[in-house]
Chains A and B, each alone.
Chain A
Amino acid sequence: MRAVTNRSAAALLVLALVAAPPVIGALPNQIGAVRAAGVSLLWWYTGLVAPLVAALVALAALPDPPRRDE
C-alpha cells in the first residue's frame, strides 16, 4: 500500500512540475523573464530544473521494491 501511495504522490509531483511553467509565465511583473546568469528564470526552470527534479523523483519513488528472492 505504501508503494502505491508513494507512486501517486510522485505522479502528482511530476504533474505539478510539468504544469508549473505557464503559472510562472503568468506571474506579475514578468518575474519569469528575470535573467540569472544570462538566462531567464522561466527557461532555467522549464529547461533544466523541472526535468532533473522529475527524473530524480521518478527514480526514487516509482520502482517496485526488489523481491525477496531477487
Chain B
Amino acid sequence: MTAGARFLAVWLTPALWLQMPALIAGRGPDGLWLALALALAPLVALASRSRAPAPAEAETAFPVAALLLAVGLLLWANLALAGDAAVWLGEPRWRGIATAGAGALLLVAWRGAGRAVPALLLVAALALGPPLLELARVAGVGPRAAWERVATQSAFRFPPSSPWVTEGRDLRLVHGGAALDFEEEHRLTAPVGGRLTALTVDGDRPSETEWALAPGQSVVLRAGDRLQSGSTARVRFEADKQVPGSPPSGMAWAAGNPPDWPRCAGLLVTIVFGAIALGRAGGRISRSEVAWLAGGGLVALFWSQAWAIYSILTSPDLFLGGLTAERLLAFPAPVPESIRSASQSCLLLAGFAGFLASSVALRERIAALDRTGDGAIGRDLGVWAGVFAIAGLAALWPVDGWSIARLGLGAAAASLGAARLVSHRPASPAGAAVAGSLGLIAFAAIAVAGRLRAGDEGWIGAIVAYPALVAVPLATLALRVARATAPRPRPRPRAR
C-alpha cells in the first residue's frame, strides 16, 4: 500500500494537483487535457518501470544529485504557491512560505514519517470534499448542468457581490500585478486613492497616461485600453461588466483553441518522462499500488473539474488578469463569513497535508536511490534544511509556480527519464550518468536560452518552452551509444 501512496505523493505534489483546476478553469478543454495527462502519467510510468539495479553494480552520485535538483525545484514551486496563497488571503508572503516550509522540514526530519504518507493523503482527499459540496450547494445545480451554464454564458461579467465590485481590491493582487486589457468601457473607482497607469488608444496612436487619484475618484477606460502593471491603487470595478482577461464567451471557453501540436508534444514528453524519472525502479507491482495511483489520479481529476466549473460559475471575477492556482484556494463563492472561513480552512488543510506527504515521499525517493550511502541522504537533516532554505528564499520572489514545477519535471525527465526506460540490458552506471548529464546540460542550456528569447512559434517555440523535447531524445541517444559500446557482461557459470 505504501509504495503506491508514496509514488502518488511524489507525483501529485500540491504545485501540480492544485494547478489542475486552475488550468481547467483558465484554458477549458486544453487545460482539461493537461490535467488528464497529469492524472494518468504515473500509470504510464508504472507500466514502463525498469528493472532494479543489481546490488553489485557500482553506483554513481549522478542520479541522486539530479533527483535532488528536481526535488528542489518542486519544493520551490510548492513554497511559491504557499506564498501566493498567503498574499491572496491577506497575510505576508513570508508567513505562508515559513509555515509550509517549517512544517514539512519538521516531518522530513522524523525518520518514521514515511509511514504517515497514506494517512496524510487521505486527510488531503477528505478535506477537499466539504468545500466542494458547499460550492455545489451555492451554485444550486449538478456538475453537468453547471458545465452547461458556464458554456452558454454570453460573457463572463463581474457579479454585484464580487469583492472587486463591493469594497474593491488592490491591483497588485492580480497575478503579480499583470496588465489588464479592457474589451468594453469600464469605470474604475479608487476608494482610498492611488496611482493608475494605462496605455490608452487615441485614434491610431497609443499613449501612456498616469492618474493620481484622490479617494473616491474614478477613471473611465475604453475598449482596447490596457491598465499597465505597476498600478498601485485599490480599485472598484462596475458590476455586470466583462471581466478583463476572461474568455470572450462561455462557448469560446468550452471550445478551446485549435491544438498547437509542437507544444502538445513538448508537454506530453515533459510530463510522461518526468513521471517515469520520479517513479522508482524495479520491484513487483502490486494491485494495491496500481489502485492507489489510478484512484488518486481519478479523485484529483474529478475534483479539479468540479471545482473549476463551480468556481467560474459562482465567481467569474476569478478570471481577472489570468487565473492562478492560489486564487482557487480562497473559497470563491459569496457565502456567510463563517462558512467561507471553514471552507478556506479545509482547502488550506488539504494543501498543507498534501505538501507534507509530498515532501516526505520525495525524501524517501532520494534515499532509495542512495544505495552506496545506505540512504543516508534521506536522513541528513543538514542537506534537507539547506534545500528547504534555498527553496524558501527563492519563493520570496513572486514566480509562477506552474513554470517552476514544469522546470522540475523537465529536469528530472532530461537527466533520469531515458535511463529508467532501458530495461533489458542497461548501460553501465557511468554510461547512464554521462547520458543523463548530457540531457541535463542540454535542458539547462535551452531553458536559459528560452529566458533570453521568448515568443517564438512552431517547433522552435515549443522546444524553448519545453526543453525536454530535445533533451530526452538526446539523453536516450547517448544512452544507446553507451550501451552499444559497453562490454557485455559475462554469463554466470551454471551451478552444478
Does B associate with A?
Answer: yes
A residues sitting closer than 8 Å to B (CB atoms) are 7-8, 10-11, 14-15, 17-19, 21-23, 25-26, 30, 32-33, 37-40, 42-43, 46-47, 50-52, 54-55, 58-59, 61-64
A67 to chain B: closest residue by CB: B284
In the assembly, what is the distance between CA of A54 and CA of B296, in Å?
13
Q: What is the interface of chain B mostly: helix, strand, loop, or mixed?
A: helix
Interface residues on chain B, size class: 35 or more
Residues of A within 8 A of B145 (CB): 38
Does B254 touch A at the CB level, under 8 Å? yes
On whether A58 and B147 interact (CB within 8 A), knowing A22-B259, A22-B264, A43-B32, the answer reads no
Q: What is the interface of chain A mostly: helix, strand, loop, or mixed?
A: helix
In the assembly, what is the distance between CA of A21 and CA of B33, in Å?
7
Residues of A within 8 A of B284 (CB): 64
- Let me know if A63 and B293 touch, CB within 8 A: no
In the assembly, what is the distance between CA of A40 and CA of B251, in Å?
10
Hey, what's the 0/1 contact readout for B21-58 against A, CB within 8 Å counting as 1?
00000000100110011011101101110000000000
- Let me know if B47 and A10 touch, CB within 8 A: yes
Question: Could you tell me the distance in whole angstroms from the C-beta of A60 to the nearest C-beta in chain B?
Answer: 9
Hey, what's the 0/1 contact readout for B245-289 against A, CB within 8 Å counting as 1?
000000000111011010010001000100000000000111101
A52 to chain B: closest residue by CB: B298
In the assembly, what is the distance between CA of A65 and CA of B100, in Å?
41
- Let me know if B36 and A18 touch, CB within 8 A: yes
- Let me know if A18 and B40 touch, CB within 8 A: yes
B residues sitting closer than 8 Å to A (CB atoms) are 29, 32-33, 36-37, 39-41, 43-44, 46-48, 144-145, 147-148, 151, 254-256, 258-259, 261, 264, 268, 272, 284-287, 289-291, 293-295, 297-298, 301-302, 305
In the assembly, what is the distance between CA of A22 and CA of B266, in Å?
13
**Best-surrounded residue of B29, B32, B259 (most CB of chain A within 10 A):** B29
**Interchain pairs with CB closer than 8 A, number:** 111
- Let me know if B290 and A47 touch, CB within 8 A: no
Residues of B within 8 A of A55 (CB): 43, 294-295, 297-298
A62 to chain B: closest residue by CB: B290
- Let me know if A59 and B287 touch, CB within 8 A: yes
In the assembly, what is the distance between CA of A7 and CA of B285, in Å?
11
**Which 7 A/B pairs are nearest by Cβ-Cβ distance?**
A11-B47, A22-B259, A55-B294, A38-B148, A63-B287, A21-B33, A58-B43
- Let me know if A51 and B268 touch, CB within 8 A: no
